[in-house]
Amino acid sequence: MDTMLNVAAKESDIGQATKPVLELENLRVSYYTDAGRAIALDGVDLTLMAGEKLGLVGESGSGKSTMALAMMRMIKPPGRIEEGRVIVDDTDLTALSEQDMLRARLSKISYIPQGAMNSLNPVLRVGAQLMDAMKAHVPDMPKDEMQAHCIRSLESVDLKANVFKMFPHELSGGMKQRVCIAIGILLKPKVIIADEPTSALDVVTQRQVMETIDRVQKQIGATVILIGHDMGLMAQFVDKVAVMYTGRFMEISPVRDMFLKPAHPYAQALIRSLPNLENKGVFQGIPGIAPSLLSLPGGCAFHPRCPFVMDICREQRPPFETFQENRQVACYLYTEKARS
């Protein structure tokens, strides 16, 4: 009997290991302005397993931060989540009440903001801000245990215990960013979204912060979505890269494939735009500009800038589908429909 129970337990563990931690289903966000409706996120689908690290890249306005805020249900008017589901660990966040969603933030999904300097309350000590997060989720925990837990969280991101009693203005930029990470991992969430967490830091501090995120992510086994423009950072940190354009995924590929052999013409253009040692001082931009979200072109949104454009690209939006193992792309260069 014990043997059978052990086998059943192992099979259950295997099932859990192969089950997605995060699923986005047809997530759609629009902003209603005086000029009309701007579609900022256009039917995004995504699946991530426990412990995976995804890099989210694209030009400004491509929908990266909108996707993060939609997952956190933090889209503010005139924005609106119009359709779709965000499922974290079998819980549909879009179906939760406001009160339940407050409890889900930090415990199921957390957000490390871009500007730590603007994210911490300047008139509250660091410890008070961590304690507020704890009180909102585990109000019955004794105060001394709560404080000890907060200090452990600070120490896990290489901050000393005395930071608990300090004000944000007494900390350096890197220390403030680590405080934000400590808050983000306080309740061991299943999904961590890091929105350009190193954009305002020098290169040495950037590396220290990313190493901190990498270490604590492994400690708690969380799935991480890293939003940013720094492709070098992506190459060192993530497992796979998702390229966004006008609120849609253009390509999702393992990081090595993305850098060595990008598939989508837009992904190719992004990789070509990176500086390299072979062509010092030579920079190659992407011709044209991204279209307005108020009036997207028909078919593939990238077709006005694409060097490989075909007639079908102007007429029909390409499906986002698998074209190699672990790789997805939205481009008619890789579909049977365009080749037939």
The pLDDT, as a whole number, for residue 235 is 87
pLDDT tens digits, residue range 285-324? 788 888 999 989 999 999 999 999 999 999 999 999 998 8
More confident call, 29 vs 211: 29
Look up the pTM and report it: 0.88
Distance CA 186, CA 155 (A): 11
Distance CA 104, CA 136 (A): 11
For the chain, which residues make up each domain, given as ranges? Answer: 262-340
The pLDDT, as a whole number, for residue 16 is 44
Given a cut of 50, whether residue 10 has pLDDT beyond it is no
Instruction: Provide the mean pLDDT of the chain.
Output: 87
Given a cut of 80, whether residue 241 has pLDDT beyond it is yes
φ/ψ of 139, rounded to 5, equals -65, -20
State the first-to-last Cα distance of the chain, in angstroms, to the nearest integer. 58
- Give the number of C-alpha atoms closer than 13 A to the C-alpha of residue 24, restricted to the C-beta side: 24
Distance CA 120, CA 98 (A): 23
**% of the chain residues with pLDDT over 70:** 91
